[in-house]
């Protein structure tokens, strides 16, 4: 388990590439905070923390960052973004 002890935030985790990345990180032992646009968490990751939302919404992104800080016993060690975050 190469990612044991790693806290990871993965966006776009409800389908496709993001879901595949989440599956790989989970198999390797990472603790996951997942996000995607679909209201329900992916069936493949029912035990991981999942927040549904839009990354173009600044309030959602702020809430996601706050939840990541509260969820991990230490800092976020990895992140996988399937799409670019909004730029000012």
Stated as kind and residue range, the H or E segment containing 25 is helix 16-27
88 lies in some domain? no
57 lies in some domain? yes
pTM exceeding the 0.85 threshold for the entire prediction: no
Measured from the Cβ of residue 23, the count of other Cβ atoms closer than 10 Å reads 16
Q: Which residues pair with 32 in a beta bridge?
A: 8
Q: Where in the sequence is the domain holding 35, given as residue range(s)?
A: 7-80
Q: What total number of domains does the chain contain?
A: 1
2 lies in some domain? no
DSSP count for the chain of H helices, then E strands: 2, 4
pLDDT for 81 beyond 80: no
Query: What percent of the chain lies above the pLDDT cut of 70?
Result: 81
Measured from the Cβ of residue 41, the count of other Cβ atoms closer than 10 Å reads 19
Cα distances from 70 to residues 34, 43, 44, in angstroms, run 14, 24, 23
39 lies in some domain? yes
1 lies in some domain? no
The rounded mean pLDDT for the chain is 81
49 lies in some domain? yes
pLDDT (tens digit, 9 = 90+) per residue, 29-68?
A: 988 899 988 888 877 777 788 999 998 899 998 998 888 8
85 lies in some domain? no
CATH number for position 46: 3.40.50.720
When pLDDT is averaged across residues 15-42 and rounded to a whole number, the result is: 88
């Amino acid at each position: 388990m190469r990612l044991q002890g790693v806290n990871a935030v993965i966006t776009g985790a409800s389908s496709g590439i993001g879901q595949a990345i989440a599956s790989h990180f989970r198999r390797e032992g990472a603790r996951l905070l997942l996000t995607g646009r679909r209201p329900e968490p992916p069936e493949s990751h029912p035990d991981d923390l999942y927040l549904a939302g839009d990354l173009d919404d600044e309030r959602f992104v702020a809430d996601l960052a706050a939840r990541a800080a509260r969820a991990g016993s230490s800092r976020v060690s990895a992140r996988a973004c399937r799409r670019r975050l909004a730029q000012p």
